[in-house]
């Protein structure tokens, strides 16, 4: 009897088929190597560097609602973020957009409010926060009419 009860707990009822639901969009983001423009920090003897980290509370761009019903193919948008020494995004601009301008607007609306644990140079006991530039690639997509949100 216990085996039957335990077995019943382990199975899930089949998921109901949804019909006629509105389309959802998903967004994922990944860091892209910044094009080498010569503006890199040179290693200082006796120093080490702590990589910048985005804070978990950073907003994810939202798939533009007015484009959901179009069931568009995946779109990539690359944004360049210039972050000051306190970890706040000072400037954000789009450097590539494969789709409608609304995708770029969604990225900018999100990333302009991002904050980071800043890049830091550590020399002995001295910790110096540094400004930095980072490119992010955002992928907007729909899968079977539903959202699949990925963060890398």
pLDDT tens, 33-54? 765 555 677 778 889 999 999 9
CATH value of 24-37+44-141 in 3.40.718.10, 3.30.2420.10, 1.10.4160.10, 3.40.30.10: 3.30.2420.10
Sign of torsion over alpha carbons 35, 40, 42, 47: negative
Residue 80 — very low, low, confident or very high, per pLDDT cuts 50/70/90? very high
pLDDT at 102: 95
> What is the share, in percent, of the chain residues with pLDDT greater than 90?
49
Q: Which 8-state DSSP code applies to residue 45?
A: T
Question: Which pair of structure tokens corresponds to residue 152?
Answer: 């890398």
Higher-pLDDT residue of 10, 146: 146
Model-wide pTM > 0.85: no
pLDDT computed for residue 1 by the predictor: 41
**101-147 confidence digits (pLDDT tens):** 999 999 999 999 999 999 999 999 999 999 999 999 999 988 776 55
> Which pLDDT score is estimated for 114?
96
pLDDT of 35 reads 56
- 57-76 pLDDT, tens digit per residue, is 999 898 888 888 888 888 99
C-alpha of 5 from chain center: 43
- State the pLDDT confidence band at 7, using cuts at 50, 70 and 90: very low
Q: Which helix (H) or strand (E) holds 96?
A: strand 89-97
- Domains of the chain: which residue ranges? 24-37+44-141
Task: Residue 103: name the closest of 133, 78, 130, 127 by CA.
Answer: 78
């Amino acid at each position: 009897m216990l085996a039957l009860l335990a077995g019943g707990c382990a199975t899930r009822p089949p998921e109901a088929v949804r019909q006629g639901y509105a389309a959802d969009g998903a967004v994922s983001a990944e860091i892209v190597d910044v094009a080498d423009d010569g503006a890199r920090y040179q290693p200082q003897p006796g120093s080490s560097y702590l990589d910048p980290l985005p804070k978990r509370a950073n907003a994810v761009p939202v798939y533009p609602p007015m484009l959901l019903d179009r069931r568009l193919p995946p779109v990539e948008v690359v944004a360049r973020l210039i972050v000051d020494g306190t970890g706040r995004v000072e400037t954000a601009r789009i450097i590539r957009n494969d789709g409608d301008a609304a995708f770029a607007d969604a990225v900018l609306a999100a990333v302009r409010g991002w904050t980071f644990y800043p890049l830091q140079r550590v020399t002995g006991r001295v910790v110096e926060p540094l400004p930095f530039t980072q490119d992010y690639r955002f992928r907007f997509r729909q899968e079977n009419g539903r959202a699949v949100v990925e963060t890398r």
